[in-house]
Structures are given as structure tokens and as C-alpha cells.
A and B are shown apart, each in its own frame.
Chain A
Amino acid sequence: MAIRDIKIRIDSVKNTRQITNAMKMVAASHLRRAQTRILAARPYANHLDTMLRTLKKKNVASRHILLDDTPRKGKELLVVVTADRGLCGSFNTGIIRRALSFIQENPNTDIVCVGRKGYDSLRKRTDRVIEHYVGIFNDMEFFRSRDVADHVLDLYLHHDYARIKVLYNEFKSAIQQNIIIKTVLPVQPLESDIVSSIDYIYEPDEDTVIEELGCKVMHVDMWRIMLESSAAEQGARMTAMDSATDNATEMIGALTLQFNRERQAAITTEIIEIASGADAINQ
């Protein structure tokens, strides 16, 4: 390769490195924001969970469809949560692969896609997608995830789905994401022993409270899932961009070495030419 060409390559790799490095920083700050929001949602979610557990323990007899977890026959609904954007390692592909294998195992499954990447890919590979939400992660607000939750609730209550599951990336740490499937309906309170020991009076009555509570728990579950997925996405992007930046640095090193060798070779050739020219004159 000519010296000039190498120079051009080096400059272009440097540009790429600048971009990946900037993306890494942006992902890191988005990640922090998502993490703070996960923490902020906790008091509210725990409050509802404790209420639910207390009620469940108290009147096991009056079961509501939102809470009834005895196995039932019927269709499955899988909510597939991916990102809206790419460049985040295997974040999206992992989910899509898992979704396809889930459909193969459970042929009677309908799909709701959240996130552009999952929708773009799954609608080509299966005809099971009945609804999709795109662009939620650009501007994360509670009411947006509530819309998704309300739609899913409506499907559960008025169309005979036995269960509603969500497939998403659980946020473990900035460098680790786990793909998990969580059952959101029927509503299951978190495993914990915290039950309120106070004997409350319920207004208007326990059944009305439990029905409304089921919906609200579902809303906040969905919100938490969206937040986790978005945190995981940013974490995955951060890792991917970090290794891209490292690769670029490595490549620049190798190219610079090659550039210097070529330069040295050119100089050596020139000196030899001059020296032999001078020799010829002297003789």
C-alpha cells in the first residue's frame, strides 16, 4: 500500500474511533439516568407489592382473574422487548433468537413487539406479531409504558390468553445482561415475607381494591421492565462501543507502524540512490 493510502486509512479509523468513543460516553450517561429511575420506582412498586401480598394472604377465597395463578388452557402472549436502535452488541439478536425458539416450542403464541429492532426482524420471520410499539425508548415516560400495559391487560381480559409473558434483557450490571422471560399476568407479587400485620378496613371493598391493584401492579411491572431493558441496552452499547474504540486504537497502532516502515523504506531507497549517484561521479 502506498504511503498516502495508509495515511488516509489512519485518518478514517481515527474518525471512527472518535464516534465510537462519543457513543460510549453517551451510553454511559443514559445508563446512569436509567439506573436512577429504576431506583426511584422502587418505593412505589414495593408499596403496591406489599398491599398485594397482604390482600392475597387475607382472602385467598375471593380470587380475581388478574391474580388467579392456577394453570389454564389458552393462547400465550409474548411481549418481546428489544431496543429501537442497534450498535449494542448481541442485545437485540439474543432476544430475537429466544423469541423464535419460544414460538417453536409454543406454537399457539401471539407476539407484541416493543422496540423497532425486534419488530423489524420478527415481522419478516413470523406472522404472529399482532401489535407493535416503536420509539418508546427515545423518550421514556411512565404513561408510554402504561399504554402498552393497558393494551396487554385488555388482551388478557377480553381475549382468551392464558398467560402474558415478557421477554426482555434484565439489567445485571453495566457489562452483564440476562435474557429472561417473566410472567406478568396473572399478577404475581415478588417473593418476600413482608406482609402488613395491620388489619385494614378496605373501601369500597376488598374485591374492588384487588382488581384495581392488579392493574396498577401490572402498570408498574411494565414500567420496571422497560427501564431495565433500557438500562441493559445502554450497558450493552457501552461495552460494545468500548471494545470498538479499543479495536480502533489497535488498528491505528498497526497502521502507524506500517506507515513508518514504508516511510523508512522510501528514505533508505532515496539515500541509496543518492549515494550510488555520488559514487558514480567520483569514480
Chain B
Amino acid sequence: MSKIKLEVRKPEGQVVKAEFDQVIVPGIEGDFGVLPGHTPFITRLRPGILTCIDNTVETRWAIHDGFVTVEADMVLIACEIAEKSDDIDAERAREAHKRAEKRLRVKQDDTDFRRAEMALHRAVARLGSLKSDSEL
């Protein structure tokens, strides 16, 4: 089976450059799997989990804020934050999750909803990428 190239670029540098059997990307309109020969398209990302499948090995990344360009044999992701699931501090993510939820629940005039909501999404994505490593 032919493989698909994946490159993930952050402002701090390129974090992934490898080939996989399948890549599952969190697009703004929903998650989608990419196999070689996909129709070229560009979409925004939503905070979510990028899953790279190679044989039976799955690597997961929590990614937020960016774009994905899909070409026939290539997936290019440009995003401002990408963290490998192994590097994520579960405790911190849980704290952030709680904080964001609280901020959204306790309605105050000066609450920046968009920010709080983004923070919540991020925390959910981070926690999600950890999920099947160790059930939360």
C-alpha cells in the first residue's frame, strides 16, 4: 500500500516529517481521514486530535489553530500549536479545563468568551489526545 507524506510546521519549527498509512485530521467541518490519492483541498483546523497511523502504531498530536493543505500524496499542516500526546501534562490540561469551564459558567461582563471558549477547546483536545493512552 502506498503511503502518504505528512509535514507539520509550527512557527518554532517543523515538528513532523514522515510517511504514514493514514492520517486523521480535525478539520473545522469535522474530522477526516486522508489516504493517498485524496482530492486536493484546504481547510481550517479546529482544536482537536491529529492521528497518524503507520501499520498498527498510532501517534496522536493535539493541534490547534491553523490550516491543512491536502494534496494527492501529501498532507501539509501549518498550525501555531502542536503537541505530541506523550509530552502533554495531563494534570495541567485538566486544571485548564476546569478553569475554562468555570469561566464560561460564571457569567461576568468582562469575561472574554471567545478566549475562554478557545481555552476550553484546547484543553479538551489535549485531554482527548491522551485518552486511550491511559483512560481518564
- Contact stretch, chosen from B64-72, B94-102, B123-131: B64-72
A-side interface residues, number (CB < 8 Å): 26
Residues on B with beta carbons closer than 8 Å to the beta carbon of A216 = 65-67, 78, 80
Q: Chain A residues near B43: list those with CB within 8 A.
A: 202-204, 209
CA distance in complex: A11, B40 (Å) = 70
Whether B12 pairs with A37 at a CB distance below 8 angstroms is yes
B interface residues, tally (CB under 8 Å): 24
Q: State which residues 22-56 of B face A: CB under 8 Å.
A: 27-29, 39-44
Contact of A202 among B12, B41, B65 (CB under 8 A): B41
Among residues of A, the one whose C-beta sits closest to the C-beta of B41 is: A201
Closest residue of chain A to B72 (Cβ to Cβ) is A198
Q: Is the CB of B76 within 8 A of A47?
A: yes
Asked if B27 and A51 sit within 8 Å, CB to CB, the answer is no
User: A199: which B residues are within 8 A, CB to CB?
Assistant: 40
Q: Is A146 an interface residue when CB atoms closer than 8 A count as contact?
A: yes
Q: A202-B41, A203-B42, A209-B42 are in contact. Are A41 and B78 (CB under 8 A)?
A: no
Q: A40-B12, A201-B41, A220-B11 are in contact. Are A146 and B27 (CB under 8 A)?
A: no
Produce 1/0 per residue, A31-67, CB < 8 A to B: 0000001001101110110010000000000000000
Q: Which residues of B contact A202 (CB under 8 A)?
A: 41-43
**Proximity bits, A78-96, B CB within 8 Å = 1, else 0:** 0000000000000000000
Q: Which of A165-216 contact B (CB under 8 A)?
A: 198-204, 208-209, 212-213, 216
Q: Which of B42, B44, B80 contacts A142 (CB 8 A)?
A: B80
Whether B11 contacts A203 by the Cβ 8 Å rule is no
Expressed in whole angstroms, the Cα–Cα distance for A203 and B40 within the complex equals: 11
CB-CB under 8 A from A48, the residues of chain B are: 67, 78
**Interchain CB contact under 8 A, A47 and B44:** no
Interface SS of A by simple majority: helix
Q: Are the C-beta atoms of A201 and B67 separated by less than 8 Å? A: no
B residues less than 8 Å from A219 (CB atoms): 11, 80
Neighbour of A223 across the interface among B11, B29, B69, B78, CB < 8 A? B11
Give the Cβ gap from B47 to chain A, nearest Cβ, in Å.
Answer: 13
| Closest CB in chain A relative to B6 CB, distance in Å | 13
Chain B residues whose C-beta falls within 8 Å of the C-beta of A142 in the assembled complex: 10-12, 80
Q: Which of B39, B40, B44 contacts A204 (CB 8 A)?
A: B44
CB <8 Å contact, A44 and B42 = no
Are B78's CB and A44's CB within 8 A? yes
Whose C-beta in chain A lies nearest to the C-beta of B44?
Answer: A212
Who on chain B is nearest to A222 by CB? B11
Contact check, A204 vs B29: say whether CB atoms are below 8 A apart: yes
Minimum C-beta distance from A183 to chain B (A): 20
Q: A44-B10, A201-B40 are in contact. List 11 more A-B contacts (CB 8 A).
A: A37-B12, A40-B12, A51-B67, A200-B42, A202-B42, A203-B27, A203-B43, A204-B43, A216-B65, A219-B80, A223-B11
Query: Contact residues of B with A, CB < 8 Å?
Result: 7, 9-14, 27-29, 39-44, 65-67, 69, 71, 76, 78, 80
11 sampled A-B residue pairs with Cβ under 8 A: A37-B13, A40-B12, A44-B10, A47-B76, A51-B42, A200-B42, A203-B44, A216-B65, A216-B66, A219-B11, A219-B80
